[in-house]
Amino acid sequence: MPENRELTYVEALREGLRQVMEKDESVFLLGEDIGVYNGAFGVTAGLLEEFGEERVRDTPISEAAIAGACLGASLTGMRPVGEIMFMDFVALSLEQLALQAAKVRFMFGGKTKAPFVLRMPAGSGTGAAAQHSQSLENWLVHVPGLKVVMPSNAYDAKGLLIASIYDDNPVIFVEHKLLYGTKSHVPEESYEVPLSQSRVVREGSDLTIIATSLMVHRSLEAAVQLSEEGIEIEIIDPRTLNPLDDETIIKSVVKTSKALIIHEAVGTGGYGGEIAARIASSEAFDYLEAPIRRLTGLDIPIPYNRTLEYHAVPQVENIVVEARKLSRGEY
C-alpha cells in the first residue's frame, strides 16, 4: 500500500476492530444496533457479515446491561468491545463501571482482571441537543481503575483502540462525532499506539496549548492564523486522559512559559482544571510568565438551536483571541 494511504476516523476504527477480531477469538463486539444497523455512526459496518452473530451482538436498549456484560465476559477471559450509542447514556452504566469494573482487579488483589473497552461517541456539533451532545469524560477520569482515551485523529484512533483492547484494565474510549469523517494517514498493518503517551502535535515557542479530541484540530487552525502574526503555538494532545502523561505537557510549558488548556466539556469540574493543577505544582510553575488559562464549553446544556450550539463550545475564533491575548501578556 502507498505510504500516504488515508482512512477516515470511522474506517480506521473499523479496520482496527477487524484486524484484532481476525487475530484473537476472545474479542467480540456488543451494543445497540451494531449488527444489522451497522452502529449509529457506521463504525461496525460489515462486521456482522464477516464474523457472525456470536461475535457481533446486538443488545437490548440497556447501557447497564452492555457495561455489565463487558465486565462479566472480561472476567471469564474474553476481551469484549462494547458500544454506547451516545456518551450521554454512559450515565446509565456508571454502577457497573464505577462500582464494579474499576475496582474488581484491586479488590481481588490482582487475581482477576477486567480487559474490556467501552466505545462511545461524544460532543456537540450535530444538532443533537442536550441529551445527545455532552462531553462527560471527566466523570470517568475521576474513577480510579478506569482508563480514559480520547483520540483526535484516525491514526491514533486505530492504534489506541488496538492498544486498549489488549490492555488488562477497563478502558473508556471516547470518539468525537465530528471527527468520524476526518482523514489521516493510517498504515494497513495492525499497530498499537501506547496508552498514556501525550503527543506534540505542533512545535512552537510562544505558547503551549493543551487540547483534547476535536479541539486539537481547532487549535491547529488557530495556530496557522496566529503564525501569520508571528505567534508560534505549540500544541500538545494528551490522547490518554487517565493515566495522564503530564511530563510532555510540563516540558512544553517550561519551554514556552505560557499555557492555554482547551476542551469542549464544561469548565466547572472539567479536565482542564486537573492539567492546570499539575502544571502549577510542577517545575513549570517557576517558568510561567502569565496565568494558566482555560478555554472550555459553557456551563450550560448543549442547545438544539444551531447558532446557540455553536457558541456553547470553543471555536477557532475563540482560540485565536485567547491565545493572542495570552501570548502578548494581556491578562
The per-residue pLDDT for range 257-306, each reduced to its tens digit, is 999 999 999 999 999 999 999 999 999 999 999 999 999 999 999 999 99
| pLDDT surpasses 70 at 3 | no
Average pLDDT over all residues of the chain: 97
In the structure grid, which three cell numbers stand for residue 89, read together? 447514556
Sheet of 293-297, strand order: 199-202, 233-237, 207-211, 259-266, 293-297
In the structure grid, which three cell numbers stand for residue 272, read together? 482542564
- State the SS3 of the chain: CCCCCEEEHHHHHHHHHHHHHHHCCCEEEEECCCCCCCCCCCCCCCHHHHHCCCCEEECCCCHHHHHHHHHHHHHCCCEEEEECCCHHHHHHHHHHHHHHHHHHHHHCCCCCCCCCEEEEEECCCCCCCCCCCCCCHHHHHCCCCCEEECCCCHHHHHHHHHHHHCCCCCEEEEEEHHHCCCEEECCCCCCCCCCCCCEEEECCCCEEEEECCHHHHHHHHHHHHHHCCCCCEEEEECCEEECCCCHHHHHHHHHHCCEEEEEEEECCCCHHHHHHHHHHCCHHHHHCCCCCEEEEECCCCCCCCHHHHHHHCCCHHHHHHHHHHHHCCCC
| pLDDT surpasses 70 at 2 | no
Q: Which pLDDT score, from 0 to 100, does residue 330 have?
A: 86
Q: Which pLDDT score, from 0 to 100, does residue 10 have?
A: 98
CB proximity list for 211: less than 8 A, separation 6 or greater: 152, 218, 219, 235, 236, 237, 261, 262, 263
Task: Exactly one of 11, 32, 63, 83 is catalytic; name it.
Answer: 63
CB proximity list for 218: less than 8 A, separation 6 or greater: 211, 262, 314, 315, 316, 319
Work out the pLDDT band at 132, boundaries 50, 70, 90. very high
The per-residue pLDDT for range 32-80, each reduced to its tens digit, is 999 999 999 999 999 999 999 999 999 999 999 999 999 999 999 999 9
CB 282 within 8 A of CB 208: no
Task: Exactly one of 132, 176, 217, 263 is catalytic; name it.
Answer: 132
Work out the pLDDT band at 120, boundaries 50, 70, 90. very high
- When pLDDT is averaged across residues 155-165 and rounded to a whole number, the result is 98
pLDDT cut 90: percent of the chain above it: 98
| 142 counts as catalytic | no
Q: Which pLDDT score, from 0 to 100, does residue 4 have?
A: 84
Q: Which pLDDT score, from 0 to 100, does residue 331 have?
A: 80
| pLDDT surpasses 50 at 157 | yes
CB 90 within 8 A of CB 97: yes
The per-residue pLDDT for range 167-184, each reduced to its tens digit, is 999 999 999 999 999 999
- Residue scoring higher pLDDT (4 or 101): 101
CB 255 within 8 A of CB 207: no
Query: Domains (ranges, CATH) in the chain?
Result: 6-185 (3.40.50.970), 199-327 (3.40.50.920)
Work out the pLDDT band at 118, boundaries 50, 70, 90. very high
CA dist., res. 229 & res. 225, Å (int): 7
- When pLDDT is averaged across residues 139-147 and rounded to a whole number, the result is 98
Work out the pLDDT band at 1, boundaries 50, 70, 90. very low
| 132 counts as catalytic | yes
